[in-house]
Structure 1
Amino acid sequence: MITDGFSYLALLMMIAASIVYTEKKTRYNKLFEYLPSIVIIYFVIMLLSTFGIWEKTEEITAAYKALKSNLLPAMIFLMLLSADMREIRKLGKKMILTFLLAAVSISLGFIGMYALFHTAFGPESWKPFAALSGSWMGGTGNMVAIQGALHLPDSDMGYALLIDSIDYAVWVMVLLALVPFAKRFNRWSGADTSIIDEVGRKLAQKEERRETMDFVSLFLLLAAALFLSALSQFLADFMPTTDFLTHTTWVVIIATVAGILLAMTPLASLGGASALGNMMLYLIVALIASRANFAELAQAPLYIAAGFVIIAIHALIMVIFAKLFKLDLFSLGVASLANIGGVASAPILASAYSRALIPIGVLMAMMGYILGTFGGLAVGKVLKMIVQQ
C-alpha cells in the first residue's frame, strides 16, 4: 500500500501516460473510438482506489490538494490559448448563432430535466450536473474547472464522467447515422448551404501557421502557465465572495479570461500549449479518480437516464430552431457535437460531410472552451435555485 505523496503522484502519472501511449501507439486503439482515454484513466484509477492501492494519509492528501489546486488554473489557461476569437469570427454569423443555440438548448435540457426529476436525486446533485453542463458546453477541462469552483466531491464526479462517456457515445452514433439524411433535412428546414461550403473552402485553403514544438516554447509556456496560476490565486484573494462566487470560482474566472485575452498575443503562436494543457488535464482527472470509489456509484443508472433526457430536450429544441432559422443538418450536428463532444469529436462529424469542413468543427469546439466554464456555472446557479424552492 502506498503511503507517501511522491510515490502516489508517480503512480498516477505512469498509469495515465501508459493509457495514452496505448491509445496512440498500439493495435488496441480501436477500443478508444468508443471509450476515450481520459474515461479509461478515470475508471482504472478509480478501480485501484477501490482496492486500496494507496491510503489517504496526510502526506498523500496534502500532495493531492496542492497539485490539483495549482494545476487547475494553469491547465485552463493553456487550453484556452488555442481559442483565438479572431479565428472564430471566420465561422460567420449564422454558424456562430447555431453554436450558441446549441449551447442554450443544452442549458435548457439540464434545467428542464432537473426541474422534473430533481427529487429523485440528492440535495447536492445539482453540482455534478453543473459540472457535466460545463463539459457539454465545452470540454472535460471546463468540467474539471467547475468541479473545483463548486467544491464538488471527487466521489460525485464519477456520475458526471459516466454520463459524459455513455450518453455522449450514443449521441455521436446518432449524429453520424443522420449524415445520409442531410439533403432531405435541409429541404424540410429550407436551409441554404452555399455559405457553409464557401467558408469551409476558404478555411481549408488557408492553413493556420503553427510553429513546431521545441524546448524554448515548452519552457516558456510552462513558466507562463504556472505564473498565471499563482497570479490568479493571488488576485482572487481581493475579490468579493458569496455562497456561489467562492475564492476558487474567482481563480477559475481569472484564468479563463487571461487565456482568452492572451490567445490573441504572440504567446499563442508557440507550439506546445495544447500538449501541456492536456498533460495537466489528464493528471487532474487521475487525481480526482484517486479519491473516488466504485461503491459510491449506486445511483449510476438514474444519472445515465437523466443524461438521455437532457439530450432529448436538446435535440427537440434544435429541430425547432432549424425550422425557425432555416438551419442545415451539418451546422446543427457539428454545433451539438462541438458542445457535447468538444474538439476531439466535432471534426470527425464535420469530416463525415466533407474534409473541407473539418476546420469549422475545430473552431466551433474552440468556442466551447471559452463558453463552457461560464455556461456551466450559470446552469449550476439555476439548478441550485430549483433545489432550494
Structure 2
Amino acid sequence: MENQRGNCCDQDGFLYVSGMIAVTAAIVWADRRFQTKFFKYVPAIVLIYISAALLNTFGLFGDSDAIGDTSSTIRNALLPAMIVLMLLKCDIRKIIKLGPKMLITYFVAAFSIVGGFALTYFIMQSFYIDDTWRAFSALAGSWTGGSANMVALQNILDVPEDIFGFALLMDTVNYSIWVMLLFWLVPFQFVFNRFTKADTSKLEQISSEMAAAADAEPEHPIAFQDLMVLLGISLFIAAVGSVLGGTLPEIGTAINATTWQIVIASVAGLILAVTPIARIPGSMELGSVMLYVIVALIASGADFSELNQAPVYIISGFMIFAFHGIIMLLLAKVFKLDLFTLGVASLANIGGMVSAPVLAGAFNRALIPIGVMMALIGSFMGTFFGLLTSEILSRL
C-alpha cells in the first residue's frame, strides 16, 4: 500500500506539470494564431501567469509534496539552462561598439530604477505585507533586464508565490502605462532633441552600419540537430553549475548556492556568445519555451484571493517610475541626450527584449539592432541589479 501511495503522488506531480505545459501551449498558440489587440496589451506571459494562478486559486491541484517537489526540480533544472540560451546572442564585442553614451545612459537608467525601489520602499514599507522586499527585488530584476531575470530572482530569493503575484501585477499595469507613454513621445522626438540640444549624427552612423551588417548575414532555418545541441549544452551547464554552486560559500542574504548557479550559467552564456555556438539558430525560441514553463510553474503556487492590497503596489510602481523619469530627464538635459537614446535605455531596462527593439523601430527601422543590443545588456545585468536591490531593501 505504501508503494501504491508513492506511485499515486508521482502521477499527481506528472499530471500537474503536464497540465501547466498544456495551458502554456494553448495560450502561446492563441497569441501566435490570432495576433489581436488583446494580446498586444496583455502579453502571453501575463496570461500564462494569471491562468496558472487561477487554477491554483480554485483548487484544481492539491497542495501535495509530490507537486511541490516536481515543480522545484524542474524549475531548478530549466532556469540556468534558459539563461544560457538567452545570453547566446549577447555578443559583448558588439555591445562595446555602442559607445559610452549609450552604455552610460543604460546604467544610469538601471541605477535610477534601483534608487526608485529603495526610496519607494522606504516611504511605503508600513503599508506592505511581510517579505515584500523579496518581491520588489525580483521585480527590479525584471525592470532592469526582463522576465527571465525576474524568474531567476524569484528562485534565488525564494519569493513567496502570493507576494510574487503583486510583483507581476505591477509588471503588467505599471509597465504597460510606461511603455504607452514612451511610444506616445516618439512623434515629439525633434522637439525633445531641440530642448536638450542633442547631436544625433553619430547615432545615425552607427545604426546604418549595424543595419547593413544585419542585411548581409544570411538567415538559417532551425533544424532538429540545432535544438538537440542547444538543449544538451544548456542542461549540461545547468547541471555543472548546480554542483559547483553547492561548493561555493554563501555571502549575505542573496549570495547562495542558487545565486552561484545563476552566475555560472550567465558567465558561460557570455563566453559561448563569442563562439560559433552562438550562430546556432533556435536559442531564443528554446529559451522562451523554458521561460514560459517556469513562469507557469511559479504562478501555479499563487493565490489571487489575497490580492486585496493590490492598489498600494500599483501606486508604488508609479512612484518608482516617477523617480526614474525625473532622473532620466535631468540626465538628458545635462548631457544633451536625444529622445531615442533615453527611451531605448529606459525600455531596455523595463521592457527588455520584448519592447526595446519595438520602440527603436518606432523611431527608425534601421535603429532596431541598437534596441536589440541594449536589451541584451539588460538580459545579463538584470539579475545582478535585482540582487543589489535585495541587499538595499533587506537592510531597510
TM-score range relative to shorter protein: over 0.9
Q: Match for residue 248 of structure 2?
A: 239
Counterpart residue identity of residue 4, structure 1: D
Partner of 1:19 in structure 2?
27
Q: Which residue of 1 aligns with 2:197?
A: 190
Question: Which residue does 1:179 correspond to in 2?
Answer: 186
Q: State yes or no: 1:4 paired with 2:16.
A: no
| Matching residue of 1:302 | 312
Of 160-169 and 99-108, the range deviating more from structure 2: 99-108
1:125 to 101, 126, 132: 132
* Residue 167, structure 1, aligned to residue 177, structure 2: no
Distance in 2 separating the partners of 1:23 and 1:30: 10
| Per-residue CA distance 1:246-288 (angstroms, 9 max, x = gap) | 2111111111111112111111111111111110000000001
Q: How does 1:155-304 map to 2 (within 5 A)?
A: 155-207=162-214, 208-209=217-218, 211-242=220-251, 243-304=253-314
Shift of 1:210: 5.0
C-alpha displacement at 1:33, in angstroms? 0.9
Aligned position for 1:359: 369
Aligned equivalent of 1:371: 381
Please give the alpha-carbon distance, in whole angstroms, between the structure 1 residues aligned to 2:322 and 2:261: 34
Q: Distance in 2 between matches of 1:70 and 1:167?
A: 31
SS for the counterpart of 1:292 is coil
CA distance in 1, matches of 2:257, 2:181: 40
1:296 Cα offset (Å):
2.2
Which residue is 2:144 aligned to? 137
Q: Which amino acid letter does the alignment assign opposite residue 179 of structure 1?
A: V
Deviation at 1:21, TM superposition (A): 0.8
In the TM superposition, residue 58 of structure 1 has moved relative to its aligned partner by 2.2
Equivalent position SS for 1:238: coil
For 1:329 and 1:209, how far apart are their aligned partners in 2?
32
Shift of 1:212: 2.7
In structure 2, C-alpha distance between the alignment counterparts of 1:19 and 1:287, rounded to whole Å:
15
What is the CA–CA distance in structure 2 between the aligned matches of 1:225 and 1:211, rounded to whole Å? 21
Give the aligned partner of residue 36 of structure 1.
43
Q: TM-score normalized by structure 2? A: 0.94
Deviation per residue, 1:126-172 (Å, 9 max, x gap): 10000000000000000000111111112211111110111011011
Deviation at 1:105, TM superposition (A): 1.3
1:63-142 map, 5 Å: 63-142=70-149
Q: Contact conserved, 1:339 with 1:365, CA < 8 A, in 2?
A: yes
Matched pairs, number = 384
- Aligned-residue CA RMSD (Å): 1.3
Q: Distance in 2 between matches of 1:102 and 1:212?
A: 36
Counterpart secondary structure, 1:54: coil
Structure 2 contact 348–371 (Cα < 8 Å) conserved: yes
- Percent identity between matched residues is 47
**SS across alignment from 2:222:** coil
Cα distance, 1:348 vs structure 2: 1.5
Asked whether the 8 Å contact 1:22–1:29 carries over to 2, the reply is: no
8 Å contact from structure 2 (residues 254, 390) kept in 1: no
- 1:67-115 superposed Cα distances (whole Å, 9 cap, x missing partner): 1111111111111111110121232221111111111111111111112
- For the residues of structure 2 that align with 1:180 and 1:218, how far apart are their CA atoms? 41
4+ residue runs over 6 A deviation: none
Query: In 2, distance between residues paired with 1:315 and 1:146?
Result: 24
Give the Cα separation in 1 of the matches to 2:149 and 2:224: 28
Deviation at 1:209, TM superposition (A): 4.7
Unaligned runs of 5+ in 2: 1-8
Q: Indicate the residue corresponding to 2:327 in structure 1.
A: 317
Q: Distance in 2 between matches of 1:209 and 1:384?
A: 48
Match of 2:60 among 49, 53, 57: 53
